[in-house]
Amino acid sequence: MSTGEGVSPAQLLMLEYQAVKDEQRARIGFRDNLLYATLASMAAIIAVAVPSGERVPVLLLLPPVCVLLGWTYLVNDSNIWSTARPRTRRRTY
C-alpha cells in the first residue's frame, strides 16, 4: 500500500501501530524463550560436570552463562517496555 492510493493518516497510524505491536510480540516470545535457554544451558553444564568428578571446574561456566543470558533478558525486556510506552511528549507552557 503506497501513499499514492489515497491512504488516510489514520490508516498510516494503524499500520504503524500494527508493526510496533508485531515487533513487541516477537520480542516477548524471544524473552520467554531465553528462560528456557538459560535452564537448558545450566542443565547441560551440570550434566557435563557432575558425572565425572574430574570436570568440576566446568561448573565455573555457570555464572558467566547466567549473566550473559540474564543481561540479554533484561535488555530485551527494556525494549519491550519502551515500545509499550507512548512516544508522545506533553508540553507544559
What pLDDT is stored for residue 46 in this prediction?
A: 92
pTM above 0.85, yes or no: no
For residues 25 and 31, give the distance between their C-alpha atoms in angstroms, rounded to a whole number: 10
**Is 14:1 a contact under the CB 8 Å cutoff?**
no
Residue 50 resides in a domain: yes
For helices 62-84 and 9-49, give the axis angle rounded to 10 degrees: 170
Count of the separate structural domains present in the chain: 1
| pLDDT tens digits, 14-27 | 999 999 899 999 99
Cell numbers representing residue 74 in the block: 533484561
| pLDDT tens digits, 32-59 | 999 999 999 999 999 998 887 788 888 9
- Residue 68 belongs to domain spanning: 9-84
Residue 22 resides in a domain: yes
Determine the average pLDDT of the residues in 9-16.
91
Q: State the chain's mean pLDDT as an integer.
A: 86
For residues 87 and 89, give the distance between their C-alpha atoms in angstroms, rounded to a whole number: 7
Which carries the bigger pLDDT value, residue 79 or residue 83? 79
Residue 3 resides in a domain: no
